[in-house]
Amino acid sequence: MAPPERSTNSLGMHFVTIPAGEFMMGSDERPDALAQAYPQYPRERFLLLADEAPVHRVRITRAFQMGQHEVTVGQFRRFLLASGYVPDAERDGTGGYGYNPSYDPASSARGDAFEGRQRRYSWRNPGFTQSEEHPVVNVTWHDAQALAAWLSQTEGRRYRLPTEAEWEYACRAGSRTRYHSGDAPESLAQVANVFDQDSASLWPQWRAFALPHHDGFSFTAPVGSFAPNAWGLHDMHGNAWEWVSDWHGDDYYAHSPVEDPQGPAEGGVKVRRGGSWHTWSFYARASYRNWNDPDTRYTLVGMRLVRELP
Ligand SMILES: [Ca+2]
Ligand SMILES: [Ca+2]
């Protein structure tokens, strides 16, 4: 296959053109089938996926460009320097989340895997080492909006987050399997940084949910470290969760328009997609939907942008 045609913007982000087209969005896999594929998971987890159904036809009516990679620390830094924008975690003084090896989830009120919020954590410091080429995390949905708005203004091209439908369409890249690499969780080994044996060494209590291989990364990986999907996009599964533009609606798929769905008109939480370096393979499926308040900043959540064609 010919390599995808790509172009680069003023912050060094690479974009590839995603064709217009149709796909089947969502999943209606039965709990029995999931239990067979993910035997170590408690069965009740397979009963909490109603928002992935029904599978429905979606038509993306216009080609668009999508970031080949998640937005990196270096790109985000250059944006802040050029624009003067102050990210939410610094502006509101409450900070973000971070990895602290001496932190014990069991002793915290939330039972969370990470400590926070704390002022010492932000996009600059998630508690683990990141180079300029790693995906930026600890950024809010509003931070993503600010980056897209600034790029739109300075470049005269419209940037934005992908819609949830655009994201899943681009992730699948023509596939109908759980991952663009196939149905088997182990197929992620070539294409994704997820919760593997390297991460499990730091969270041994969850080792049963780790993929059996070593992917080389206990935390985030430099973007593009793994093979791309058929449309040239890297890290659609894993590395950092990616904010999309849509509000989350539990029953949205039952009445979603076919053409270019934009999500519910209003809501309380914004969708994020694809899973992260810390995410169990089950939750990195192409159809899996997770969400947060748009003010959330977290060690696992970053972004990828869309640039509209002129
Ligand atoms: Ca990993
Ligand atoms: Ca990702």
Instruction: Report helix angle 141-155 to 73-83, nearest 10.
Output: 60
Centre of ligand 2 from the C-alpha of residue 301, in Å: 9
Ligand nearest to the CA of 69: 2
Per-residue confidence (pLDDT) for residue 3, from 0 to 100:
57
| Helix, strand, coil content of the chain in percent (nearest 5) | 25, 20, 55
Give the Å distance between the CA of 7 and the centre of ligand 2.
20
Cα gap 58→5, rounded to integer Å:
25
Q: Specify the CATH number for 6-308; select among 3.90.1580.10, 3.90.1150.10, 3.20.20.150, 3.40.50.2000.
A: 3.90.1580.10
- 130 CA from centroid of ligand 1 (Å): 14
Q: What is the mean pLDDT of residues 169-190?
A: 98
**How far apart (Å, rounded) are the C-alpha atoms in residues 53 and 255?**
11
* Cis amide prior to 119 (ω within 30 degrees): no
Which residues have CB less than 5 Å away from ligand 1 (the ion)? Answer: 193, 196, 198-199, 215, 217
Q: Is residue 54 reached through a cis peptide bond, with omega within 30 degrees of 0 on the bond before it?
A: yes
Question: CA-CA distances (angstroms) from residue 302 to 62, 67, 113, 205, 276?
Answer: 25, 13, 17, 25, 9
Buried b (16+ CB within 10 A) or exposed e, 253-282: beebeeeebebeeebebbbbbbbbbbbbbb
Residue 176 and residue 24 in contact, taking contact as beta carbons nearer than 8 Å: yes
Q: How far is the CA of 152 from the centre of ligand 1 (A)?
A: 34
CA of 175 to the centre of ligand 1 (A): 24
% of the chain beyond a pLDDT of 70:
99
- Give the distance (Å) from ligand 2 centre to CA of residue 276: 6
Burial class (CB in 10 A: 0-12, 13-18, 19+), 8: exposed
pLDDT in tens, 184-206: 999 999 999 999 999 999 999 99
Tell me: pLDDT of 1 over 60.
no
User: For residue range 274-310, what is the model confidence (pLDDT) as tens digits?
Assistant: 999 999 999 999 999 999 999 999 999 999 999 999 9
Give the distance (Å) from ligand 1 centre to CA of residue 13: 23
Residue 200: its pLDDT value, please? 97
- Distance separating alpha carbons of residues 25 and 253, to the nearest angstrom: 9
- 128 C-alpha to center of ligand 1: Å? 13
CA of 73 to the centre of ligand 2 (A): 14
How far is the centre of ligand 1, averaged over its atoms, from the C-alpha of 220 (Å)?
Answer: 7
Average pLDDT over residues 66-88: 98
Asked if 99 and 219 touch (Cβ cutoff 8 Å), the reply is yes
Residues 121-126 have a mean pLDDT of: 98
pLDDT recorded at residue 112: 84
Please tell me the distance between residue 190's alpha carbon and the centre of ligand 1 in angstroms: 11
- pLDDT surpassing 90 at residue 4: no
Domain ranges of the chain: 6-308
- Residue 107 — pLDDT band, cuts 50, 70, 90? confident
H helices present in the chain, as ranges: 31-37, 73-83, 88-91, 141-155, 164-172, 197-200
**149-164: pLDDT as tens digits:** 999 999 999 999 999 9
| CA of 191 relative to ligand 2 center, distance in Å | 11
**C-beta separation of 153 from 10 below 8 A:** no
- Are 299 and 278 in contact, with CB atoms under 8 Å apart? yes
